[in-house]
Amino acid sequence: MSHFARDVIPLANMGVLILPDAQAVSLAAAEAIEAIIREATATRGRAVLGLATGSTPEGAYARLVERHSAGELSFRDVTTYNLDEYYPISPADPRSYRTYMHRHLLGRVDIAPNRAHLLDGSVPESAIAEHCAAFEGWIASDGGLDLQLLGIGRNGHIGFNEPCGLSVDEARRLRTRLVELHPVTRADAVRDFGSAEAVIPTALTLGVATILAARSIVILATGSHKAGAVAAALTGPITAEVPASLLQSVAPRVTWILDRSAASALPGLPAAWPPIN
């Protein structure tokens, strides 16, 4: 929370920053990421970031690229691990998260190619478990994640950890693995795949346990279509049916950055929050 200068309000012991619009969310997210890079590289000589895809973080990545192009920010000492990837998918497929990350950030900053890691949608089926375990091993050998950046699905998913009937304890122990996508997630993916039939229905995702272990977690949401999931995750019970609610169990390490629309179903906020300065 020290990465945010202002206006962070506590909710379920988590920090919540509510901003006027999506652009302000992107700027605040980029500021937080930059602060974490600076702090971690100053104290440990490197920063290890868990990154997310989707439309929500695009603006934050654009801002980080701008900072890099202006000579203000280097990724020389940064290592990244991405949250998820469709499976099976070719790394060169324009719809792969590998392509997304290359286009929005990794191909536009000075990160070393062997420090930018994504789950590989082209490993043979027989090697999935080994690949997922190796990915977690790389994160551990890098000293764990300084930051996990997250978006949230309309169904409350984080990464591709989808709503499910597991107990909270079981859900909190989920590791990196192959998953089936929830119908709401598949419906939302039509935007990227063009038709329902074309959506790849399975994916690899970092596990809940790995996400919750990050030293700092920043979760972004913009738009009224996220308001229900945001309210359930922040103010509802901790349940595997709303995977983002599991963040409540590591509350002091979590900051939500929301625009007014995504925050609109939160109970008890002043009608005109955030205050106009």
The site for ligand GLP (CB under 6 A) is made up of 52-56, 83-84, 151-153, 159-160, 185
> Among residues 18 and 83, whose Cβ is nearest to ligand GLP?
83
In the complex, what is the shortest distance from the CB of residue 125 to ligand GLP, in angstroms, rounded to a whole number? 21
Structure tokens at 128: 């999935």
Q: Point out the residue whose Cβ comes nearest to ligand GLP.
A: 151
9 vs 184, beta carbon nearer ligand GLP: 184
Pick the catalytic residue: 31, 34, 84, 85? 84
Whichever of 16 and 189 has its CB closer to ligand GLP, that residue is: 189
Minimum CB separation from ligand GLP for residue 237, in Å?
22
Find the catalytic residue in 3, 68, 85, 155. 155
Which of 141, 151, 137 shows the shortest CA–CA distance to 256? 151
The residue from 31, 146, 162, 259 that is catalytic is 162
User: Is 157 an active-site residue?
Assistant: yes
Output the smallest distance, CB 145 to ligand GLP, in A. Answer: 15
Query: Which two three-digit tokens encode residue 41?
Result: 């590289």
Burial class (CB in 10 A: 0-12, 13-18, 19+), 92: exposed
* Nearest distance in Å: CB 276, ligand GLP: 27
How far is 66 from 72, CA to CA, in rounded Å? 9
Q: Which is nearer to ligand GLP, 6 or 191 (CB)?
A: 191
Q: Which of 104, 157, 161, 182 is catalytic?
A: 157
> Would you call 84 a catalytic residue per the annotation?
yes
CB 219 within 8 A of CB 151: yes
Residue of 90, 81, 13 whose CA lies nearest to 53: 81
Please name the residue ranges forming H helices in 159-273.
Answer: 168-172, 183-193, 208-212, 227-235
The torsion defined by the Cα of 64, 70, 73 and 74, in degrees rounded to 10, comes to 100
Catalytic positions, written as ranges:
84, 155, 157, 162
